[in-house]
């Protein structure tokens, strides 16, 4: 009589160590804020002028909140490094993941700064209808400067598209690890 053996779970299917609870909160709060700020930012130019202020208020408040969350997240990450990737993840994938993550951190800090500077250069500091979270007026720190505003607008637009590309790469990596490699990497952040 043959003995029945339990199916062997491949080493790649074992869940790697996960992120801390606070790291997960930072991640998912950022996802929600990006899901708010990005679509609104991409459609603002298509909204009729009489309705734009509410869109600007939402976009700018979400953007500055992204900046604050990204800075807090970076401070946390520097004191609490992420868990290492599992040994079975090849070096090129490790480098690609690091490049995308580092680029996202840079852009999540740089992009709101560009937007804040741009609105000030256009002469629209975060006050009144566009106050931060509808409540907090930020001080005006520069006079309107149209040429500077246009340069900042171009950089902010490039930044928005760059973040979108980085998000596609990030989500693509998640799908690759979950659906193709089936290595449990997704479980680190859920």
CATH number of the domain residue 63 falls in: 1.20.950.20
Residue 4 lies in a domain: no
Place of tokens 């799908």: 175
Residue 1 lies in a domain: no
Residue 136 is given by DSSP the state: B
pTM, rounded to two decimals: 0.86
Domain total of the chain: 1
Model pLDDT for residues 6-36, shown as the tens digit of each residue: 444 344 455 567 889 999 999 999 999 999 9
For the cut 90, the answer to whether the pLDDT of residue 2 exceeds it is: no
For the cut 60, the answer to whether the pLDDT of residue 164 exceeds it is: yes
- The parent domain of residue 44 ranges over 18-83+91-188
Sorted by sequence, the CB contacts under 8 Å of residue 36 that are 6+ apart come out as 58, 62
From CA 74, how far away is CA 181, in angstroms rounded? 29
Angle at which helix 52-79 crosses helix 91-121, to 10 degrees, equals: 140
Model pLDDT for residues 109-157, shown as the tens digit of each residue: 999 999 999 999 999 988 998 899 999 999 888 999 999 999 999 999 9
From CA 107, how far away is CA 113, in angstroms rounded? 10
């Amino acid at each position: 009589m043959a003995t029945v053996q339990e199916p062997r779970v491949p080493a790649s299917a074992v869940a790697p160590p996960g992120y801390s609870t606070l790291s997960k909160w930072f991640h998912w709060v950022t996802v929600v804020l990006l899901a708010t700020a990005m679509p609104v930012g991409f459609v603002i130019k298509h909204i009729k002028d009489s309705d734009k202020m509410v869109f600007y208020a939402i976009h700018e408040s979400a953007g500055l909140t992204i900046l604050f969350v990204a800075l807090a997240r970076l401070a946390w990450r520097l004191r609490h490094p992420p868990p290492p990737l599992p040994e079975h993840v090849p070096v090129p994938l490790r480098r690609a993941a690091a490049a995308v993550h580092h680029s996202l951190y840079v852009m999540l800090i740089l992009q709101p700064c560009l937007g804040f500077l741009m609105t000030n250069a256009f002469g629209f500091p975060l006050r009144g209808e566009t106050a931060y979270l509808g409540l907090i007026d930020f001080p005006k720190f520069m006079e309107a400067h149209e040429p500077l505003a246009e340069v900042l607008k171009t950089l902010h637009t490039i930044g928005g598209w760059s973040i979108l590309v980085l998000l596609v790469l990030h989500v693509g990596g998640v799908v690759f690890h979950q659906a193709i490699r089936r290595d449990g990497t997704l479980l680190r952040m859920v």
